[in-house]
Structure 1
């Protein structure tokens, strides 16, 4: 295993090249990380480089596919096992985004399903993803759930760095990420692993 430091910009360009090299059909790309690693920033940064490479891009966030509060908080608002097992509407994410965005899918994608702040349906409209389009999804705890992707990227943080960079009022989530590391081992499952103990100084982990 080799740890290769890169700048954020170079990392973005290398990921965009790798995605483009996967082919011209529709692609589904996952940026998986704890919130402290800011997976949404990495996903957002890929949009322009991919468009410059001739790809249409649809950004989707897993936070827009959470289950209703009555289901998420059935065992309390700070239960780490519920956070791991019950918060994400896995079926809705597959049905509305990942299945239609498949190379042979319908291309009719719903970019958001549920507004967690209002605890109501988002009322978003379906978007037509062209045959060369790329869905870039960000979120946490997404590997090991049998969700289909053409490329998965995991932004890895050590337990110490994760604790240091997670706000104190969110420390209740840390056991869920310990469980994720133990049960899923995202660093071994993802196609690309990036060390993000310091988000300003990423490093690609080569096998």
Structure 2
């Protein structure tokens, strides 16, 4: 085992070595293989070093996710959005599924069942980008359901699609599954541009709600009241 690092540079070197060792372990054995003893042995460090640098296992998992997603997130944020917000979301789905299939360990960390409800920073950052894409669709008047519901549905379907594909050998995966799931979800949450002139009251309310923060003519209280009314219009009709 190595001694405790004595400088900032050495600390970063040790941190990088631990992350590399943990990545190898999780790639071969999944999240369950990531024990303190196994990581310490693989990285040739003492267990207290892990706690000092990462706090606990969840801290190490979050750091691994951030490490694995850094380049992916940088590419997502750097790309200019497609002029058509629905096509932009369609492209984002394909990119997400491709990344998940190419990086199963990172996918397993960011979508670990039983993880804290707040989620990892990496997952929350990804959800924020997804929400912004859905907001663009809403501002265009092409969203069928409220933004929060659309984000939850798209995220659940995307995660489920990747998990289903990862559960079978790569040579046995159905290449039609992801496009079919993507198109089914988009059909459920968006309206086609060709029928936009006949947008439903709910779609119009959702679109206006997405732009409500730009309504400088309204006071904060008036915007709050308007948002409440728009939320009622965008929800299911009261049949009682």
Name the structure with the higher strand share.
1
Name the structure with the higher helix share.
2
Fold agreement, TM-score > 0.5: no
Structure 1 length-normalised TM: 0.26
- Flag the structure with more relative contact order, 1 or 2, with Cα contacts below 8 A and sequence separation at least 6: 1
Structure 2 length-normalised TM: 0.23
